[in-house]
Amino acid sequence: MTTPDSDYVTDQLTPLVRGWCEKVNLAIEHKRTRFGDVAQQCMAFYAGLTGFMYEKDFQKKFVGGNFSPKFKITLNKAFEIVALYLPVIYNRNPIREVRPPDPFRFGPELFGQGEEAEMVYQQAAAEQQQRQAMLRAGCDVLERYLRYTPEEQPNGGLLQASENAVIEALVKGRGVLWQEPFTMPGSTTILTGSFYDTVDRLLIDPDSESPNFGEAHWIAKICIEPHWKAERARGLPYGSLRNKGNLESAEAQGARRGNPRGAAERGKGTTFDLVRYYKIWSIGGIGARLTGTKLQMQEAFEEVVGDYAYIEVAPGVPYPLNLHPSQLAEATDEEVREAFSWPIPYWKDQRWPCSLLDFYRQPNCSWPISPLRPGLGELVALNIIMSHLTHHVYQNSRTLVAVLKSAQKDVEAALKSGEDMSVFGIPEILKDIDHLIKFVQGPPVNYDVWRIVEHLFNLFDKRVGLSDLLYGMNPGAASRTAPDAETKREALSVRPDYLASKVEAWQTDTARNEKLCAYFSGVSGESLRPLLGDVGAWVFDQAFANAEEEVVLREMSCSIRQGSARKPNRQRDAENLKEVYQPFSIQLGQYAQVTGDTGPLNELNRKLGEAMEIDMTGLEMGPLVPPEQEESPPDPAQEARAEKIRQDIEAEQVRNQQKLVLSEAEQAQKLTHTQQQHAADLLGKLAMLDIEAQRQQTRNRNKK
């Protein structure tokens, strides 16, 4: 229902909406020329139908000319890139970490001398210690939350969303994850996650030379959904967007086909149930300038909304979707500010509401280069040449026979009979059968063609990094020396390591955005009580949810553990652990004997089992607690052994004292490594006996 006031507001907002729609159209065209056309071609090579290259539309757009060989071969090298690199650079969800900054270290001398200065120093140190303890606790609970959400978010979790984005980045050049809050059906608990959406729906300010925050003044997301869903989410009157769509869902198509009046309804446009609209995040204001909007409304928007504005517009709808004119006519300044503010103020940390994965940036452009793009020329040529070569080989494999017409019937019957031996007569006027029958063979393939094909394959593989070593093959002669093998290994890892570093930086940005999303969307400790417990939930509220913005933004640094997203090299890890296992296990075993703490030894065994892919469940050792024993007098044999060891040590010390009178050169020659080791062993045995005696005394006291 409209009112005169809402009609007036609609008239004033129409230029604003129309201006944004035209900006979006320019961004779509800019993206198409700089990125979209090549991305579409690369995706066709990855997931297109066999023979897509030979369709007229594709040839007209990307190749030119018109050709249609009998065998339409498409070499799916794009799939090989994804199949080889994806498992290496993103194999599992990374381990997220949250760390506070190192505290400032100071001493009492900073405050001068005297008792008063000492008191000030102690107070300052205590305050910093308390603040640092709360900050560390907040980082700990936030870290547990950020490690929990990747598995909890729907649709396969962060692993599936990230895999989709990495595949798109390897093929098209860019992958996108959007950070948003969500609630499970039937629940009121707010959680946050990173969700995949195709880069095809991302738009960037065409005036920018980089997608970075500040260089691009706005970004947008293309959304397509049923009109009723868009109305419900924004509190718009039901049916207000019903006739604003120009797309038809499969549900609507099915209903139309089952409706006798479906064709007529479609002609009226009433079956178009999907509405296309744009979500726009701007750091340059709401965009009322230069649109024809009246100066009074421009100034009002500038004053109330400010630079960081969020607006939703749809073609054909004369007002922003995030505030209906009837609501705007009666809204207060605070309501208007809230309606046109970013849902999550990522701008406070100079971030967009999404994280972008680009492997190769294009200088002075907001759109990247696809890893497949440098080899597209060779790939197209290979497909065309291989299709024609296959057709040529097929033609030459056919059996073509030329025969005199007078003998055709007899010769044809003999050739088609399929018998091992077939006899047929020839006209008497012919003295040579070669004058009767001739097998026709087409011209052979020039050897230079195969050299060209091989060269094109090599060029393409070098462009995109498909080394033979990635396939487990060793090109040329096998490595005969360790330096040669090491050189090949290092050269092989250069590109995967680079791509993996880009993925890790992208996942770090993703974790930082999720931190902001959790803070500003109202995630509370109460909803995380099953995860954190009562104390942890209280700490989450005190140290994170209710903390100052600057503390969360600047002092809780999110990152991921290096290498935690990559495919683990279990063979290398197992070999390294085997090298250090024996000395570590001895030391940790001795530590466990003295303290009773077997935790470090269990962790060492767990790591070894994980590297060797052996399940160590049930093999963990509990604390080493000796059984209680009845109080008994000291063991004479044990005391005798201890006394003997002491006497041996004293005798050894006497001998060493006697050796001091010798010259340093003679002493160095006579004091052998065996003697030193013997003395060390005696000291160790004595120490263990002392420890055992102390334990016996402790048990005796506990018994009493």
| Average pLDDT rounded to a whole number, residues 378-404 | 79
606 or 652, greater pLDDT: 606
Nearest CA-CA partner of 93 in 17, 166, 32: 166
For the chain, percent of residues with pLDDT exceeding 70? 75
pLDDT at residue 484, rounded to an integer: 65
Model confidence at 384: pLDDT above 70: yes
* C-alpha torsion 648→652→653→656, nearest 10: 180
From CA 376, how far away is CA 369, in angstroms rounded?
A: 12
Q: Answer yes or no: is pLDDT of 223 > 50.
A: yes
Kindly report, residue by residue over 405-455, the tens digit of the pLDDT: 767 777 777 777 777 777 766 666 555 666 666 666 667 777 778 888 888
Residue 97 pLDDT greater than 80, yes or no: yes
Question: Highest mean pLDDT: which of 15-24, 259-268, 297-306?
Answer: 15-24
pLDDT at 180 over 80: yes
Answer yes or no: are the C-beta atoms of 385 and 453 closer than 8 Å: yes
- Tell me the average pLDDT across 245-274: 55
CA 464-466-472 angle, to 5 degrees, is 165
- Cα 182 from Cα 93, distance rounded (Å): 20
Which residues have a Cβ under 8 Å from the Cβ of 599 and sit 6 or more positions away?
A: none
Q: How confident is the model at residue 658 (pLDDT cuts 50, 70, 90)?
A: low
* Cross-strand pairs, 438: 402
Mean pLDDT, to the nearest integer, of 263-280?
66
What pLDDT is recorded for position 654? 63
* Residue predicted with more confidence, 296 or 667: 296
Average pLDDT, the chain: 80
pLDDT of residue 664: 44
As a whole number of angstroms, the distance between CA 297 and CA 288 comes to: 8
At 12, the pLDDT band (50, 70, 90 cuts) reads confident
Cα-Cα end-to-end distance for the chain = 89
CA distance linking residue 283 with residue 310, whole number of Å: 9
pLDDT of residue 622: 78
Q: What is the pLDDT of residue 158?
A: 93
Whether residue 82 has pLDDT greater than 70? yes
Of the given ranges (208-222, 573-587, 631-645), which has the lowest mean pLDDT?
631-645
Q: Which DSSP string do the residues of 625-694 spell out, in sequence order?
A: -PPP----PPPHHHHHHHHHHHHHHHHHHHHHHHHTTS-HHHHHHHS-HHHHHHHHHHHHHHHHHHHHHH
Tell me: pLDDT of 142 over 80: yes
In the 8-state DSSP scheme, what is residue 249? -
Cα distances (Å, whole numbers) of residue 408 to 8, 436, 440: 92, 9, 15
The HSE-up count of residue 322 (CA atoms within 13 Å, CB side) is: 21
Of the candidates 304, 289, 277, 177, the one whose C-alpha atom is nearest the C-alpha of residue 221 is 277
pLDDT of residue 471: 67
Residues 66, 57: Cα–Cα separation, whole Å: 10
pLDDT winner (highest mean) among 108-122, 349-363, 478-492: 349-363
Q: What pLDDT does residue 665 have? A: 44
Q: CA triplet 85, 87, 89: central angle to 5 degrees?
A: 65
- For residue 680, is pLDDT > 60? no
The pair of structure tokens assigned to 372 is 């497949």
Sign of the alpha-carbon dihedral angle for 573, 574, 578, 581: positive
**Residue 661, CA distances (Å) to 552, 646, 655 in order:** 69, 24, 11
Q: For 321-325, 370-374, 439-443, 690-694, which range has the lowest pLDDT when averaged over its residues?
A: 690-694
- Between the alpha carbon of residue 154 and those of residues 24, 96, 275, 521, 541, the distances in Å are 31, 19, 25, 18, 25
pLDDT: is 594 or 289 the higher one? 594
The answer to which of 37-41, 411-415, 686-690 has the lowest mean pLDDT is 686-690
Binned at pLDDT 50, 70 and 90, residue 663 comes out as: very low
Lowest mean pLDDT of 3-12, 17-26, 655-664, name the range: 655-664
pLDDT digits (tens, 9 = 90+) for 228-257: 888 888 888 888 887 776 665 565 555 555
Cα atoms in the Cβ-side hemisphere of radius 13 Å centred on 103: 16
Give the pLDDT confidence score for residue 313 in this predicted structure.
92
